[in-house]
Amino acid sequence: MEKDKALEALFQAQKPQFADNGQFMARLTRRLDAVEYLKREQEATLRRYKMAMVVAFALGIVGGAVAIMFMFSLPADVPLFTIRVKAGALLWLADNFRWIAASAVSLLMTVGIICTIGNVQDILAMRAAMRIGRK
């Protein structure tokens, strides 16, 4: 109870001073402008990343389709490799190797494209940061 009264007295003793000059408004305007600038930059960065991911997805689909078409354009009667073992799992692997290889190539191409676009985005961000630093 005594602590509450002490806190109340402390708060009542505080009398904030407001100067009626334009410095407060000027600082507030500068800070609000800085916040708006950061907000616009963040939104632009998110739009670029989203577009980069859409492009990477589309290129991965196209690259995967090309890789699959190449894999299946090879003669079907000629196996990609031969296994002289009669084990069930290895025979299944030999029979379905074209599908497995096509899927693996598509996945690797997609990951490679995503990494490449990410690296390009990082480089562009570094260039932009360097341009801003020069001004």
pLDDT digits (tens, 9 = 90+) for 9-65: 777 777 766 666 677 778 888 888 888 888 888 778 877 877 887 787 788 778 778
Q: CB neighbours (10 Å) of residue 100?
A: 11
Per-residue model confidence as pLDDT tens digits over 99-123:
787 788 778 878 888 887 887 787 7
Q: Name the percent of the chain in helix, strand, coil, to the closest 5.
A: 80, 0, 20
The pTM of the full predicted model, rounded to 2 decimals, is: 0.45
Q: Give residue 27's region: left, alpha or beta (phi > 0; psi -120 to 50).
A: alpha
Q: How far apart are the first and last CA of the chain?
A: 58
